[in-house]
């Protein structure tokens, strides 16, 4: 969940590293540091806090050189202190390491290295890696001398990796081999940018935008040697690998805030466009169905499927809950939604006629990846709904559907959620037309989907109204979010957004379940946010609102325009367009995103970088 950058070439390494760390700060912002080869030594600068504080330190204490590595940290081992910041130094300073991941046997290795005389200054598992490589470097030099120092360094890393258990993305410098970076990956993503007489290294492609259009995504158990005029990649068991160079499609505007104060607000406002992108080229009006070309399963194979399992974490799990309703209604397919963190360790009965979908924004979520791999290991067709091209899940899945939402920088997911719901709607339409859904019904769904980008534009007009409501409620410390059917997952997602960025306790429930326990929480200081657009069970949810009002609980309602009944009961109403029930999650999620955003601002929170969270959860 940390961010790694590296550079070898002719530019100022520190300049690239700092720009890259700013772009990767959403991955971790407890502390940051860089290490640069400067003459015959490696100079390390580290700073607790955000990347800007490291930038200020470098203004006071600059470094120069054209080879270096950097890191922005999200703590897994050890508190947020200067001694726990990366990079970490091994031995007597001849090895420097940055690391993303978790070394599971670090305690055992630490004890062994301490017995050998190595002195530890931090609580991190990364310092264990640094000393371990330093130990093997000494061993290799005793055996082989310094006649081919790059080979000696490479052998030292190979030996160290044999002893490590866990996940890692590593960037490694050697003091006595000043023109080289070694990079290794097992479970934590790394991408290499290919330039002219220069190479770049990063945890994801964001830092590479504007520097190169050619990238290589490292696979698990691969080790790379980066020198300004050479890139060598080898696999731990199969030997040298020819670099698979891909084209990087991102542009600078994708990762810049533009005129918006925060990435989260920018990404909320991008949703008309991202939903349009998710739909583009995927609607077949003549056949009244969706066009989904990446599943890599024939129509005959798909007709034999009699069950779907959706697995995900966090916001993606909420999108999966919406997908459950969609697939069961349109395709009449029994569907289950599993937390990936639970599925990976369970042994549920899954038949050979079950289709497993992993849902993920980043394509690197550790639990989702592990759950997908476990299902694949057992021979089940395993597909992905993913946003990031070239990500591990996208590459390892048997097939899948890209969101085409563009980079999502804000830690709290917004546009990825609505894009996932849109893609799941397309999937339900596609499978439904193979089974029970009629041609006229398919045509109607297509027409309604085509209208959604414009409908989302209209939904965003509630922004000023939401801001006014946030002004009245931001000081409350407990919230209930309530909805039914398609809007129950929306209630869960709304509560999660508020928790993530404002640190307010919030719980989402099916509205009817309130009286089975949660109603005990209702009082004058606990607002209830009802997601209650028009629909078949609208009167039932109105009754639930009445129950809250009878106990003097404040009520905020997300409702359709001119709903007089809701307006009579609720203290405040946020109006959304009136759409079919299966499309309500798309329009109702947006005011909840805006409400969380403005409450967080009023409470002085950093909405793009909330405490204790990172964007890509690449560790268990």
Give catalytic residues, as residue numbers. 2, 615
What does the block give as tokens for 531?
Answer: 């997601």
CB-CB contact of 16 with 86 (8 Å):
no
If DSSP codes are grouped into helix, strand and coil, which group holds residue 539? helix
**Angstrom distance (rounded) from CA 592 to CA 463:** 10
Residues facing 169 on adjacent strands: 100, 185
Among 230, 229, 200, which Cα is nearest to 217's?
200
Pairing between β-strand 230-235 and β-strand 222-227 as defined by DSSP bridges: antiparallel
- Residue 301 belongs to what H/E stretch? helix 299-303
**406: how many CB neighbours lie within 10 A of its CB?**
21
**Angstrom distance (rounded) from CA 232 to CA 203:** 18
Edge-first strand listing for the sheet containing 222-227: 88-90, 95-100, 168-174, 181-186, 222-227, 230-235, 239-241
**Angstrom distance (rounded) from CA 379 to CA 373:** 10
> Token match 């470097």: residue?
137
Distance from the Cα of residue 394 to its chain's centroid: 13
**Angstrom distance (rounded) from CA 81 to CA 33:** 12
If DSSP codes are grouped into helix, strand and coil, which group holds residue 125? coil
If DSSP codes are grouped into helix, strand and coil, which group holds residue 517? coil
């Amino acid at each position: 969940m940390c961010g790694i950058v590296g550079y070898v070439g002719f530019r100022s390494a520190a300049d690239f590293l700092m720009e890259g760390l700013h772009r990767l700060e959403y991955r971790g912002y407890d502390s940051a540091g860089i290490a640069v080869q400067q003459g015959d030594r490696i100079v390390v600068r580290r700073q607790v806090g955000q990347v800007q504080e490291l930038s200020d330190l470098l203004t006071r204490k600059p470094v120069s050189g054209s080879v270096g590595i950097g890191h922005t940290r999200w703590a897994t081992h050890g508190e947020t202190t200067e001694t726990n910041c990366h990079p970490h130094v091994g031995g007597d300073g001849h090895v420097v390491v940055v690391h993303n991941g978790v070394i599971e046997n670090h305690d055992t290795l630490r004890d062994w290295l301490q017995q050998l005389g190595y002195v530890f200054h931090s609580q991190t598992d990364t310092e264990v890696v640094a000393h371990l490589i330093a130990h093997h470097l000494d061993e290799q030099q005793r055996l082989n001398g310094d006649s081919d120092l790059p080979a000696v360094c490479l052998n030292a890393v190979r030996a160290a990796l044999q002893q490590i258990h866990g996940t890692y993305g590593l960037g490694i410098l050697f003091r006595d081999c000043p023109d080289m970076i070694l990079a290794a990956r097992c479970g934590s993503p790394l991408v290499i940018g290919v330039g002219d007489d220069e190479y770049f290294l990063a945890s994801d492609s964001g830092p590479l935008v504007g520097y190169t259009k050619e990238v290589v995504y490292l696979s698990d158990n691969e080790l790379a040697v980066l020198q300004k005029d050479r890139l060598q990649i080898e696999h731990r068991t199969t030997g040298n690998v020819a670099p698979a160079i891909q084209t990087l499609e991102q542009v600078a505007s994708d990762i810049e805030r533009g005129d918006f104060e925060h990435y989260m607000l920018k990404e909320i406002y991008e949703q008309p466009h991202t939903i349009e992108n998710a739909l583009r080229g995927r609607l077949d009006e003549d056949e009244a169905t969706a066009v989904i070309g990446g599943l890599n399963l024939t129509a005959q194979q798909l007709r034999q499927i009699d069950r779907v399992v959706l697995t995900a974490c966090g916001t993606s799990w909420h999108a999966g809950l919406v997908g459950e309703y969609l697939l069961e209604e349109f395709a009449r397919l029994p569907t289950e939604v599993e937390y990936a963190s639970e599925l990976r360790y369970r042994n549920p009965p899954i038949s050979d006629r079950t289709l497993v979908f992993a849902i993920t924004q980043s394509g690197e979520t550790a639990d989702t990846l592990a759950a997908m791999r476990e299902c694949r290991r057992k021979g089940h067709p395993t597909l992905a709904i993913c946003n990031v091209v070239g990500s591990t899940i996208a590459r390892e899945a048997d097939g899948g559907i890209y969101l085409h939402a563009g980079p999502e920088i804000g830690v709290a997911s917004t546009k990825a959620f609505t894009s996932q719901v849109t893609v799941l709607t397309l999937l339900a339409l596609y499978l439904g037309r193979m089974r029970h859904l009629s041609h006229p019904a398919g045509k109607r769904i297509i027409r309604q989907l085509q209208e959604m980008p414009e409908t989302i534009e209209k939904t965003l007009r509630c922004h000023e109204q939401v801001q006014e409501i946030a002004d009245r409620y931001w000081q409350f410390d407990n919230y209930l979010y309530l909805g039914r059917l398609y809007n129950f997952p929306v209630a869960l997602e709304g509560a999660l957004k508020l928790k993530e960025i404002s640190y307010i306790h919030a719980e989402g429930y099916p509205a009817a379940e309130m009286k089975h326990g949660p109603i005990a929480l209702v009082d004058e200081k606990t607002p209830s946010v009802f997601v209650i657009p028009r629909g078949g069970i609208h009167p039932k949810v109105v009754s639930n609102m009445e129950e809250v009002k009878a106990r003097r609980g404040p009520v905020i309602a997300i409702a359709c325009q001119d709903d007089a009944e809701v307006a009579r009961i609720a203290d405040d109403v946020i109006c959304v367009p009136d759409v079919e029930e299966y499309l309500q999650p798309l329009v109702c999620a947006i005011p909840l995103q805006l409400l969380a955003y403005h409450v967080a601002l009023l409470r002085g929170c950093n909405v793009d970088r909330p405490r204790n969270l990172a964007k890509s959860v690449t560790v268990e």
